[in-house]
Structure 1
């Protein structure tokens, strides 16, 4: 398990990238969406991947030695509409997982959707007076967006959010904090890291995993891929389970371009064993 230390700038880590990929035959590349492929925007509905990230990801999707996955806090249907290409998607922080043509939903989260709806409805009423506060019901989880809320009112939103979840959640729901958001979800030990572990379990043992994300919810995924794989944090040098960092989605494109032009060539060329794997057991 990785410790929480300041991740190293990506420019200091290319030798490690080379040696890690040279020892592998396959690459599993998992990517967050908001703040990673797409810049953070004031209105979440307007988020879209940068053209550079979209093009670089498309190139990696077409590489036979690379498996790609999007792992997002957005609802599965939402994030699939925003970025095309990968065959695997995890939505709602891993509570929804689309792979092998099937969609699996965490059974506990499914059972708590009505309770979550009651919480979101109550928050709509309680937080209505707060300027620019937006409540998003993603069916399995909910998000209270405070990016555009006046800074002095954000603690008020936090208190009301916790109070409503405590009242209507009845210990079945919990609140976590992200970048200018409060996330509401089932109080179960499940997150993006669990989804990444399931995705990785489908692949050969010689596969190296790389995860790129920008928020607190990505830390469980960083812990899954490190230290055998590589976690890349998008943002500053705050302590993280990721060992590397880039500044922004613009630098994410640089990493994806490097993986597509250099990294793929470093992977062992013999991938014939993969064609003999019986994938029916994964479905």
Structure 2
């Protein structure tokens, strides 16, 4: 079992400059079967707003959702930075897709639609740089059928382009941009970085951290009784969205006291 990040509170509170970067779904917002009826934990939102107001402290939400979709469910705005599509969609800018990349997305979208044709509880999401197969509603009623669809989708030809699994989803991307590549570039401006996430896609960001003692803090959010550590690059662990909210509240209070 990894330790709680509460043991790193003093270090984060006193860091000369601090980047607080959070995944959204499963980290500060409970997972749900409908992506747009979820509600982030209000304590986490309040704590992140408080942190963003402190000197030498920046806050970012780094989500796999496309940016417009993230804005629909996340009430945070400037000075908090929202970044969508695993880092490919910052608030401004982002890569331009080539003709080949657009053609790939059209083709994979067509293949996925054929795969799930007539199967309730499934759909293909269109994002600016990705296409995502969702089977979460099917998984609630028929987990074996959902797993079979995900496995069949995994076998579709991608010509070496990224394919990333998640919570009852499978994402096909036209660009090789990850949460890790975004965070690695962003964190160079800070003395310390905190990142927390719950999914496979968050491992790239956790791997971008310097997790030596006294450096960055990476938090894996997963069931409190999960004892394995080999599947994560994190150096700390929390067991739920509720625990993340509690930790962020404590961090905001500690850093306000340290910077006051």
- TM-score, scaled relative to structure 2: 0.86
Query: Deviation digits for residues 65-109 of structure 1, max 9, x if unmatched?
Result: 2100110000012113322234422211111222xxxx1213458
Q: Does 1:156 align with 2:171?
A: no
Confirm whether residue 57 of structure 1 aligns to residue 48 of structure 2.
yes
Partner of 1:122: 111
Residue equivalent to 1:80: 71
55, 65, 70: which one aligns with 2:61: 70
> Would the aligned equivalents of 1:38 and 1:47 in 2 still touch at CA under 8 Å?
yes
Q: CA deviation at 1:222?
A: 0.9
State the partner residue of 2:2: 7
Whether 2:166 is the aligned partner of 1:178: answer: yes
Which residues of structure 2 form unaligned runs of 5+?
none
Paired residue for 1:280?
none
Equivalenced residue count is 247
CA RMSD of aligned residues (A): 2.2
TM-score by length of 1: 0.79
Cα deviation 1:18-42 (Å, max 9, x = unaligned): 13543x2111000111111110001
1:35 — aligned with what? 26
User: Contact 1:175/1:183 (CA < 8 Å) preserved in 2?
Assistant: yes
Q: Cα–Cα, structure 1 residues 262 and 145, in superposed 2: closer, same or farther, change >3 Å?
A: same
Q: Per-residue displacement from partner, 1:102-144 (whole Å, max 9, x unpaired)?
A: x121345886234213312331232123331121111211221
Q: Which runs of 5+ in 1 are unaligned?
A: 1-5, 270-283
Deviation at 1:43, TM superposition (A): 1.0
Q: Secondary structure at the match of 1:49?
A: coil
